[in-house]
Structure 1
Amino acid sequence: MSSLDGEGELGDPPPTRPTVGTNLTDIVAQRKITIRELGGCMAPIWSSYYGNCQSLLFVVDASNPAQLSASCVQLLGLLAAEQLAGASVLILFNKIDLPCYMSIEEMKSLLRLPDIVAHATQNISTAEISAREGTGLSGVLRWLQGSGRTQP
């Protein structure tokens, strides 16, 4: 398990809002990266989108400890999916800009992340981000450009 840090200039982050349904976005940096964003309410049909998935970004709300156990269950389901066995995984602890966010150590402990990493077939990395402020997003972009295979 590795962690991403370091910042670059990406410009202003886009406005954020909770994902309802699915969004499809292309990012072009060194190469074209297609991102399919699936909201948590779409979890029952996530498996419909596993095909051709090379990298998985799993976003956890660092300001909502009540949601953490549900996030853990969803993460375990993703890691157990046969079609995602070879995908690289980046767990993003979002909303670190809020005063009530949990530390990364608290979240890793509550998720039992060391145990998950020890038993997962996937390469799992973590990063703290603020989608609203743009903190940590350059590291996520670097991770995506390497398809999770290389660590910055």
Structure 2
Amino acid sequence: MACICVGPKGSGKTHLLSALKNESTIDITTHSVSTVGTNIFKIAIPNYLISGLNQSNKKEKYSTILEIGGCMAPLWRKYFNNVNKIIYVVDTSNLCQISCAGVLLYSIMADPRLQKTKFLLVLTKMDLAYRQMRNEALLMLQMAKLKKQLKQNLVIVEASPITRDGFEDIYKWLDTVRRKAIEGYKERKSEEDSKSKTSESNVKGPLHQGSGPTIDSSISDLEKLCQEREKQDGCNRVRIR
């Protein structure tokens, strides 16, 4: 799975992804149960947010996200293979949980398999938090220290499934990472093709590159050498006689 969504238990991952998938399914009365196991969400990126999309091309772009329950934190590492983007959700209204969330985030970003992975830190439930809670959450997460010690690209977004704040930034992040992954794949493909062409030309050698002597020229040179040798032999016979 190319994209996974993780976070502490009860941080609001299911609420957030459900609202991103279909905004009409989440309101102030919606309640969800903590995920035990995994969920898969196929989220459509709005066309007006997709960079470089032609007006004639109305085909929707999707991003498939695997949500892993917070109670499965000891098993998160088993899902890190071939992951190029991670959404990490933190509940800003629960200050008692933020320090634990920071420890989990640090342990994830320190994994050797995720050194080139793009991270999106979502401070969710902002509708339940007062404004100062954002600064307190970043301070408790020790974001300044994380950015100095770890080299991954970490983007921070404030969001709320109820008010839909921050959704546009999340959609844009998903589209940007998707496009960069496609561009990277095309670059690697072109490099592999050029290397294969170079190796094929080296195997064929100069006879197939038009440089150096050809077979026909070598035969004609050999014939000339034989004729000269015959002339010399004839002259030597005349002298002997």
Alignment match, 1:20: 36
| 1:35 is aligned to 2:65 | yes
Is the helix fraction higher in 1 or 2? Answer: 2
Sort the Cα spacing of 1:125 and 1:48 in 2 relative to 1 into closer, same or farther, 3 A.
same
RMSD over equivalenced CA pairs, Å: 2.3
Alignment match, 1:123: 153
Instruction: Give the deviation of 1:32 after TM superposition.
Output: 2.6
Q: Percent of aligned positions with the same letter in both sequences?
A: 30
TM-score (norm 2): 0.53
Q: Give the partner amino acid of 1:88.
A: K
Contact 2:86/2:120 (<8 A) preserved: yes
Name whichever of 131-140 and 71-80 sits farther off: 131-140
Instruction: Give the deviation of 1:126 after TM superposition.
Output: 0.3
Is the strand fraction higher in 1 or 2? Answer: 1
Q: After superposition, what is the alpha-carbon deviation per residue over 1:113-150, rounded to whole angstroms, capped at 9, x for unaligned? A: 01101111210110110023321112101101111888
Structure with more contact order per residue of length (Cα contacts < 8 Å, sep ≥ 6): 1
TM-score (norm 1): 0.82
Count of residue correspondences? 141
Instruction: Give the deviation of 1:50 after TM superposition.
Output: 1.0
Q: Give the partner amino acid of 1:115.
A: K
Task: Provide the C-alpha distance between the structure 2 equivalents of 1:103 and 1:55, rounded to a whole number of angstroms.
Answer: 26
Q: Give the partner amino acid of 1:12.
A: E
Query: Secondary structure at the residue paired with 1:23?
Result: strand
Contact 1:14/1:132 (<8 A) preserved: no
4+ aligned runs moved over 2 Å, structure 1: 10-21, 28-32, 99-103
Which of 43, 68, 92 aligns to 2:98? It is 68
Larger radius of gyration: 2
Alignment match, 2:142: 112
Which of 57, 63, 79 aligns to 2:109? It is 79
Task: Provide the C-alpha distance between the structure 1 equivalents of 2:132 and 2:118, rounded to a whole number of angstroms.
Answer: 25
Instruction: Give the deviation of 1:28 after TM superposition.
Output: 3.0
Query: Secondary structure at the residue paired with 1:32?
Result: strand
What 5-or-longer segments of structure 2 have no aligned partner? 1-20, 46-59, 181-241
Query: Secondary structure at the residue paired with 2:98?
Result: helix
Contact 1:61/1:93 (<8 A) preserved: yes
Alignment match, 1:4: none
Sort the Cα spacing of 1:51 and 1:113 in 2 relative to 1 into closer, same or farther, 3 A.
same
Which of 112, 133, 138 aligns to 1:103? It is 133
Contact 1:88/1:149 (<8 A) preserved: no
Alignment match, 2:5: none
Query: Secondary structure at the residue paired with 1:142?
Result: helix
Sort the Cα spacing of 1:49 and 1:78 in 2 relative to 1 into closer, same or farther, 3 A.
same
Task: Provide the C-alpha distance between the structure 1 equivalents of 2:104 and 2:131, rounded to a whole number of angstroms.
Answer: 20
Task: Provide the C-alpha distance between the structure 2 equivalents of 1:63 and 1:148, rounded to a whole number of angstroms.
Answer: 31
Q: Give the partner amino acid of 1:81.
A: D
